[in-house]
Amino acid sequence: MIIKERVDMLPLGCYRIQFDTENLWGSTYSRLPQKNQLNTKDVFVGTKTEVIGAIKTSGIKLTKLEDEKGRQYNLDPEYPFFIQEIKEAPEFKNEERFKGNLYFLGPDGRKISMKTNPVSFYINYDKEYLPFLIDVEGDGVVYCPKCKQIFWEWNEYRERHKKIHIEPVKIFYSL
């Protein structure tokens, strides 16, 4: 794909560029190259101030999680998790911490607020991930790959899958 647009006209976000030769006689389809693949480079379009403004205005959608071993888990796009009403909320001088309310869409399409609100987090702008997500009681988020749910509170049902739960080290988002 060739994009012919001024950089300042592109939407904010991370883009993956791949330099490759075009095979005019080939029959393969273009696919997004893997991160760190040969001749690829991830670039970020937009300034930190622009990203913060967009995040505060529109919120963020959580897309996938990564554990300490680098394994990634896609969140269910049919029932997305998203953070809105985002505000700067530093707890220490010069800290760039944010707070917002976490929601998900239920099966009927209704926006449902999590009981753990507000959540707090930092933002890694150029890589588009949160290094942690902490609830109002100071607990970190846990993910169950079997149930495909994120949670903070334990109960008997969640105890059954305890061995496969992960504590994400990266929570990826999109604007």
Tens of pLDDT, residues 14-34: 777 777 766 666 666 666 677
**Over residues 114-135, mean pLDDT:** 90
Does the pLDDT of residue 39 top 70, yes or no? yes
- Residue 173 and residue 63 in contact, taking contact as beta carbons nearer than 8 Å: yes
**Lookup: tokens for 61:** 């959608």
- Residue 141 and residue 116 in contact, taking contact as beta carbons nearer than 8 Å: no
**Lookup: tokens for 39:** 């001749």
> How much is the pLDDT for 27?
64
Tens digit of pLDDT for each residue in 138-167?
989 999 888 888 888 766 656 777 788 899
> Among the listed ranges 4-8, 121-125, 132-136, 164-168, which one has the minimum average pLDDT value?
4-8
- The region that residue 92 occupies, defined by phi over 0 for left and psi between -120 and 50 for alpha, beta otherwise, is beta
Cβ partners under 8 Å of residue 20, min gap 6: 39
**Over residues 93-119, mean pLDDT:** 90
Give the distance between the most distant pair of CA atoms in the chain: 59
The CA distance from 65 to 72, in Å, is 6
Mean of all residue pLDDT scores within the chain = 84
The CA distance from 134 to 116, in Å, is 9
Tens digit of pLDDT for each residue in 79-99?
889 999 999 998 888 788 999
